[in-house]
Amino acid sequence: MRNIDEMLIVDQLSVAFPGRQVLTDVSFTLQRGAFCGLIGANGSGKTTLLRSILGIQPLSAGQIRIDGVSRGNGFGSVGYVPQKIQFDPDMPLRALDLVELGLTGHKLGLPLPSKARTRLVDEMLAAVDAQNFADQRIGNLSGGQQQRILIAHALIRRPKLLLLDEPLANLDIRATAEIVSLLRKVASEHDITVLVSAHDMNPLLGAMDRIVYLANGRAASGRTDEVVRTEVLSALYGYHIDVIRVHGRVLVIAAGAANEIPAAIEQHTAHVTVIP
């Protein structure tokens, strides 16, 4: 019998590209309303994993279930915020127009006016605290404001699972904290499971219920204090790793000769310090 609190189940997932294995036997489960960080270096497979959950990336092995339904069959239950989108400041598209496209963008022709749709757009703008700039052109908004609108766009169809691919990239410290707080609020108040990919776990530390840590195509998952430990990450990387906590931040340090450190660790510059 299915556990009704299990929103996302990834079971022994493997993905291969020509000549390269990207993900191997990745397994984890997220409960309804959970806030989870998907942490890994650039090229570690975060986007591939998100695309797999969306049902647009072919799998080599394994299965994915969303609210008890095999991936692809339950696509309507998933909201998605892709990596940074560049908006032309001259594009005549207001923030509220982009939110509304979350409802109407898949339909042909111009949508007819609808009071119900207008109310729903207003609700989504309020949910992400974006009412004050709803009438501004999307290309003229700050990075943090654009992220709020993209989140509202993804939420307007009432998904049960929200996936976000590097939503904190290129944001300043204040905007980063505001977006993390907003996503935590979305998860708790709307009972939506939120999976956020990032290369730096530190902005998410105070908000995460769970963490999925990717390295070398494999994953470790659980509570942060269970996963971000020397023995767990050393096994994941296949190389000795030290985890140091200082001033409320976590440093993941690969200790060893620089020319012996695997490329996957060397590239993990955002939260890995290489000590020669």
Angle between helix 143-155 and 95-104 (nearest 10): 20
What separation, in Å, do the N-terminal and C-terminal C-alpha atoms of the chain show?
A: 52
Identify the pLDDT of residue 113: 61
In one letter, which amino acid is 247?
H
Q: In whole angstroms, what is the distance from residue 74 CA to residue 94 CA?
A: 30
Give 99's pLDDT tier (boundaries 50, 70, 90): very high
Helix (H, G, I), strand (E, B) or coil at 105: coil
pLDDT digits (tens, 9 = 90+) for 209-237: 999 999 999 999 999 999 999 999 999 99
Which has the closest alpha carbon to 164: 270, 79, 105, 44?
A: 79
Q: Which CATH superfamily is domain 6-228 in?
A: P-loop containing nucleotide triphosphate hydrolases (3.40.50.300)
**Do residues 195 and 50 make contact, with C-beta atoms less than 8 angstroms apart?**
yes
The whole-number pLDDT of residue 128 equals: 94
Residue 170 has pLDDT above 80, yes or no: yes
* pLDDT at residue number 271: 47
Instruction: Give the Cα separation of 203 and 177 in Å (integer).
Output: 7
Between 39 and 271, the more confident residue is 39
Please report, rounded to a whole number, the percentage of residues in the chain having pLDDT higher than 90.
67
Question: Pick the residue with more confidence: 61 or 112?
Answer: 61
List of residues 6+ apart from 107 with CB closer than 8 A:
none
Q: What is the pLDDT of residues 240-258, one digit of tens each?
A: 999 999 888 998 888 653 4
In this prediction the pTM is: 0.87
Q: Please name the residues in contact with 259: beta carbons below 8 A apart, sequence gap of 6 or more.
A: none
Q: Where in the chain is the domain with CATH 3.40.50.300?
A: 6-228
Q: What is the mean pLDDT of residues 170-193?
A: 94
